Amino acid sequence: MCLPTPLGPNKTPDLSFIRNATQDLKKYLRKNQLIILESTTYPGTTQELLVDELKRQFKVGKDFFIGYSPERIDPGRAISQNAVPKLVSGYSQQCLRLVKLFYSQCFETVSVSNLKTAEITKLFENIYRSVNIGLVNEMKIICDKLDINIHEVINAAKTKPYGFKAFYPGPGLGGHCVPIDPFYLSWKVKSMGINTRFIELAGEINSKMPSWIVEKIQEIFNQKKIALSQSKILLMGLSYKKNINDLRESPSIEIYKLLKKYKSKIDICDSYCNPKEIKKLFGSAKLFVNNKNIKYSKYSGVVIATDHDNFDYNKILKESKIVIDTRGRLLGQKSSKIFFI
């Protein structure tokens, strides 16, 4: 079972997809089956929604088996199937044995002692990324104020062979996992009287990055004596990360909305995302599905929000008046047209 686990109102977990699927599955369940949940969720979900629900029909661990094994995919990254071990757990030792047997046909497996440990491990993996991205985004804001290149700082720091892992700043977080999963844990432990201040602060920093980006765009345009309200901007890249078609929680959406509030005229370009999905989120904005026929010179500025590999960056740099790079894609290029934010 690999189902969406979005956030509902007030950043509370929405487990309706798992609940509904479990009810639908009941019509087809029989003894000696194995059900494995792969959805990212808070510790205790597999017990509450599967074990407690199905143990009325079966002796779980004896004549029916339940496990949890979170997905660990990285969209857009081409890696070997066996490069990422599969984390496995089970309600009982027999459940664990069967879950491990199932996945070991295709993956290296790593066993943990119980369902809750596997559930919180997946959350920890994503919270680790969220917190470190929040840290580097805050460092980007600090370095900007001090007139320091954050990318030079990162490249220097990562020469240290221990104690440092490089994370890179951007216009904010997107996707289904990293912006959302930390709130699953904070929601769960608040009922136990624990406040997740560190986790929530990282989420707050990351969620504010699009507004900071737009403020910097306004500063740059002011320097060039361009009124944002009279500007024409090309927003390059709409998905939350490069070379994929996923628009969920993409910072490009918020950047677009904020620029629209300033009454900028905005065109958009993305060759990966579904045009119908783009229209739902970006309304009547003119869409270029490739960058071959774009006349960059007619725009006040070009904003690289997501740095897809199939963009012609040489052409962008040659023809544009201003290029605002939120991803560090043009690092190493020497041009007065480029502004890194």
Catalytic annotation, residues: 177
DSSP string, 255-324: HHHHHHHTT-EEEEE-SSS-HHHHHHHHTT--EESSSTT--GGGSSEEEESS--TTS-HHHHHHH-S-EE
DSSP code at position 4: -
CA distances to 4, 6, 19, 42, 75 from 16, rounded to whole Å, are 9, 9, 5, 14, 24
Q: Could you tell me which residues come within 8 angstroms of residue 12 by beta carbon, excluding any fewer than 6 positions away?
A: 187
Compute the Cα dihedral for 71, 74, 77, 79 and give only its sign.
negative
DSSP string, 105-118: TTS-EEE-SSHHHH
Alpha helices in the chain (DSSP H): 16-25, 45, 52-54, 93-103, 115-145, 150-157, 181-190, 197-207, 209-223, 251-261, 275-282, 313-319
Pairing of strands 287-288, 301-304: unpaired
CA distances to 151, 159, 321, 331 from 155, rounded to whole Å, are 6, 7, 28, 12
Nearest CA to 301 out of 250, 265, 254 is that of 265
* Residue at 331: amino acid letter: L
